[in-house]
Chain A
């Protein structure tokens, strides 16, 4: 059973389109995250939710909107896609907000904007 799953794994789309990436975890964790990994492999936090409440919102364009319908799901919607949005997006989860907890990552979604 996959602990943290993301769909789709690959997404190719045109500039200006709107797209969503879905994330689900079956670990019973309270906290979920979205990270962006750029073409140079640099990984940066975008958002974090704890029990469906937004707790981290980094400097991210407001074209990006996370949504957490329940504790097990954290989706990422991106409006008006731009070339610079091309990256691998990782979802992760941890037991709770405690900093020592391991974050379990999904397999990533490679987004390519043409």
Chain B
């Protein structure tokens, strides 16, 4: 079974600074998908960014980018120019395609607080 580990339960950053959230995963698969979801205090889960394992290029979405290290099974999220609205729980998630395994396996989350 796949596992996803987020080793930082909580982090804080000053507004306008850069922060990196770490995520590692365990799998024997070669083809899979990785995601970062955000859950602000409103409780709504929102997709931040996603990466296909067969793509070497790191995904980028505006201020959000990932550092995908396939050999190390690491998928960290970098948030540049942090904004107060980035305050949220961030969940790293893994999906292995094929068979009935179309399910997201989530890490336990990192609570990010952006301070003014």
Q: Which residues of A are in contact with B by a Cβ distance under 8 Å? A: 31, 33, 40-45, 48, 55-56, 58, 88, 90, 92, 97-100, 102-103, 105, 107-108
Docked Cα-Cα span, A48 to B103, in Å, equals 8
Interface contact A45-B103, CB-CB below 8 Å:
yes
Q: Chain A's nearest CB lies how many Å from the CB of B110?
A: 10
Return the contact of B95 from the options A41, A44, A99, A105 (Cβ within 8 A): A99
Binding-face segment, B17-25, B40-48, B62-70, B74-82: B40-48
Return the contact of B106 from the options A43, A55, A88, A98 (Cβ within 8 A): A43
Q: Which B residues are CB-close (under 8 A) to A108?
A: 43-44
Q: Would you mind naming 19 contact pairs between A and B with Cβ atoms under 8 Å apart?
A: A31-B102, A40-B108, A41-B89, A42-B106, A43-B106, A48-B102, A55-B100, A55-B102, A90-B45, A99-B32, A99-B33, A99-B97, A99-B102, A100-B33, A102-B47, A103-B45, A105-B44, A107-B42, A107-B44
Return the contact of A97 from the options B39, B89, B91, B102 (Cβ within 8 A): B102
Q: Which A residues are CB-close (under 8 A) to B100?
A: 55-56
Q: How many interface contacts (CB-CB < 8 Å) are there between A and B? A: 53
Q: Chain B's nearest CB lies how many Å from the CB of A7?
A: 15
Q: Which A residues are CB-close (under 8 A) to B33?
A: 99-100
Give 5 closest A-B pairs by Cβ, nearest first.
A105-B45, A99-B97, A43-B106, A45-B103, A99-B95
Given contacts A45-B103, A56-B100, A99-B97, contact A88 B47 (CB under 8 A): no
Interface contact B103-A100, CB-CB below 8 Å:
no
Q: Which residue of A lies closest to B45 (CB)?
A: A105
- Chain B CB count within 10 A is highest, among A43, A45, A90, for A43
Interface contact B102-A41, CB-CB below 8 Å:
no
Docked Cα-Cα span, A113 to B2, in Å, equals 31
Interface contact B43-A88, CB-CB below 8 Å:
yes
Docked Cα-Cα span, A41 to B104, in Å, equals 15
Q: Which B residues are CB-close (under 8 A) to A48?
A: 102-103
Q: Chain B's nearest CB lies how many Å from the CB of A44?
A: 7
The contact string, 1 if C-beta is below 8 Å from chain A, for chain B 51-91, is 01000000000000000000000000000000000000101
